[in-house]
């Protein structure tokens, strides 16, 4: 015998602020909880508004009884395409997942339906929505939203079960720039800042693009150290992004750097000229405006040199690291500095080793980073 209870005429509309700043609001209507034989069917329509592009929202329906038993239903996820791609990349790295379910966009009405086996505890149960927001800087469980309370599921009233359309996840569509960024580490999504200080740039030496220069020179030489390979590839990538309809270049950071051999004034001058020369080269080989470029001059790339020393097994390695970490570039009171102390180690052999193996890697235009954003 088929038993069915249809919660007729139930229309519940709730608008709830999901944070202290009321970034998002939930609107639910058409709530329907019914029993047909050994199954309970739950359906409603949900609309999320005021969700910022940097946040994702996971909404989980929860059916709970008076005795503490409960059933967690499949969640709904909301967020912009930007937030979805960020979440997808995090899960791909942490969980080695190649894909994730598509998010629903704020402002669209989603029809939700789910069926689960009936249990005696469900008679008189309530239905609520638990919402969890996650952004770039915070993650919090938000206050629950009650959709229905004390639902009777025992009366032998036979009603047809509404058939709701199944939610089909939309595929992730990446922009041209996002596709290129998967193979080119010098591409980075624009967040409003280039982080152009020395420490940040030194941290990115493995991901940035470097163009090498001869000692004391700042002219861009394509044939020197196979520079033409990196330059041609850089120009090709820039042209692809500039010609795409869904992407654009937001900023290009060029950080000038030099090796320690030479005076501080000379190194600073040389690093600045190298960065400007590379900027001029790019603008002359592309249609990009000079206003897109940001030039930063760090002089001697001490942080990059420290990383090279730390990764080596050279003699005097720990002594060099201690000098870089504790001695200023120049100490006027002692009339000495980092470079002088390093040159004294091991009768100059340590310095000669560094000059031969490390300094050539520092003689470049810095670390080129290209920042992109989606085309509106």
Per the CB < 8 A criterion, the answer to whether 130 and 60 are in contact is: yes
Q: Please give the average per-residue pLDDT across 72-76, as a whole number.
A: 92
Instruction: Work out the angle at residue 64's Cα, subtended by the Cα atoms of residues 60 and 67, and round it to the nearest 5 degrees.
Output: 155
- Give the model confidence (pLDDT) of 170-215 as tens digits: 787 889 999 999 999 999 999 888 765 545 555 555 678 888 888 8
State the DSSP code for 13.
-
Q: Which residue has the higher pLDDT, 278 or 54?
A: 278
- CA dist 197 and 61 (Å) reads 46
Question: Are 304 and 362 within 8 A, CB to CB?
Answer: yes
pLDDT of residue 7: 36
* CATH code of domain 176-312+358-374: 3.30.1330.60
Q: What is the mean pLDDT of residues 126-147?
A: 84
Question: H/E/C letters for each residue in 331-370?
Answer: ECCCCEEHHHHHHHHHHHHHHHHHHHHCHHHHCECCCEEE
Burial grade of 76 (CB within 10 A; 0-12, 13-18, 19 or more): buried
- 223 or 298, which is more confident? 223
- What does the pLDDT average to over 67-88? 82
Q: Please name the helix (run of DSSP H) or strand (run of DSSP E) that holds residue 157, with its range, or none.
A: none
The pTM score is: 0.49
In the predicted structure, residue 128 carries a pLDDT above the cut 80: yes
Condensed to tens digits (0 to 9), the pLDDT of residues 235-288 reads: 999 999 999 999 999 999 988 877 787 777 887 888 889 889 999 999 999 999
In DSSP terms, which residues pair with 129 in a beta bridge? Answer: 61, 145
Question: Per the structure block, which two tokens stand in for 107?
Answer: 């402002």
**Distance from C-alpha of 374 to C-alpha of 249, rounded to nearest angstrom:** 9
User: Going by CATH, does the domain composed of 4-77+105-151 fall within 2.60.40.10?
Assistant: yes
More confident residue, 229 or 334: 229
pLDDT exceeds 50 at position 301? yes
CB hemisphere CA count around 97 (13 angstroms) = 11
Inter-CA distances, 130 with 88, 136, 284, Å: 22, 21, 56
How many Å apart are CA 101 and CA 179, to the nearest integer? 19
Is a pLDDT exceeding 70 seen at residue 50? Answer: yes
Q: Distance between CA 210 and CA 265 in Å, rounded?
A: 22
Query: What confidence score (pLDDT) does residue 235 get?
Result: 96
The mean per-residue pLDDT over the stretch 46-60 comes to 83
Residue 135: phi and psi, rounded to 5, are -130, -165
Q: Are 42 and 125 in contact (CB under 8 A)?
A: no
Domain residue spans of the chain: 4-77+105-151, 176-312+358-374
From first CA to last CA, the distance across the chain in angstroms is: 57
When the pLDDT of each residue in the chain is averaged and rounded to a whole number, the result is: 82
Q: Can you tell me the mean pLDDT for 225-230?
A: 92
Provide the pLDDT for residue 200: 56
């Amino acid at each position: 015998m088929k038993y069915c209870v249809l919660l007729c005429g139930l229309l519940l509309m709730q608008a709830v602020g999901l944070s202290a700043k009321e970034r998002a609001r939930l609107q639910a209507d058409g709530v329907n909880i019914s029993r047909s034989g050994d199954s309970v069917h739950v359906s409603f329509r949900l609309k999320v508004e005021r969700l910022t592009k940097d946040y994702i929202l996971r909404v989980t329906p929860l059916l709970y009884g008076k005795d503490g038993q409960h059933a967690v239903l499949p969640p709904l996820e909301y967020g912009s395409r930007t937030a979805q791609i960020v979440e997808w990349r995090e899960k791909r790295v942490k969980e080695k997942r190649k894909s994730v379910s598509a998010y629903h966009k704020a402002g669209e009405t989603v029809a939700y339906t789910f069926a689960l086996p009936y249990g005696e505890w469900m008679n008189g149960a309530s239905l609520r929505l638990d919402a969890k927001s996650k952004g770039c800087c915070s993650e919090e469980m938000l206050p629950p939203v009650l959709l229905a309370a004390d639902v009777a599921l025992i009366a032998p009233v036979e009603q047809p079960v509404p058939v709701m359309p199944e939610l089909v996840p939309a595929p992730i569509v990446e922009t041209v720039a996002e596709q290129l960024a998967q193979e080119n580490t010098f591409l980075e999504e624009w967040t409003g800042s280039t982080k152009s200080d020395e420490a940040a740039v030194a941290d990115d030496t493995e991901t940035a693009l470097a163009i090498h220069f001869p000692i004391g020179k700042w002219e861009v030489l394509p044939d020197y150290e196979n520079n033409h390979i990196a330059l041609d590839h850089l120009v090709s990538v820039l042209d692809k992004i500039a010609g795409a309809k869904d992407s654009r270049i937001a900023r290009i950071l060029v950080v000038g750097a030099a090796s320690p051999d030479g005076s501080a004034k000379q190194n600073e001058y040389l690093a600045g000229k190298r960065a400007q020369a590379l900027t001029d080269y790019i603008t002359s080989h592309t249609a990009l405006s000079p206003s897109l470029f940001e030039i930063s001059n760090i002089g001697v790339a001490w942080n990059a040199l420290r990383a090279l020393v730390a990764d080596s097994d050279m003699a005097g390695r720990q002594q060099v690291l201690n000098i870089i970490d504790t001695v200023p570039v120049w100490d006027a009171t002692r009339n000495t500095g980092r470079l002088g102390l390093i040159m004294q180690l091991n009768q100059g052999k340590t310095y000669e080793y560094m000059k031969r193996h490390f300094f050539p890697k520092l003689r470049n235009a810095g670390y080129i980073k290209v920042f992109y954003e989606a085309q509106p």
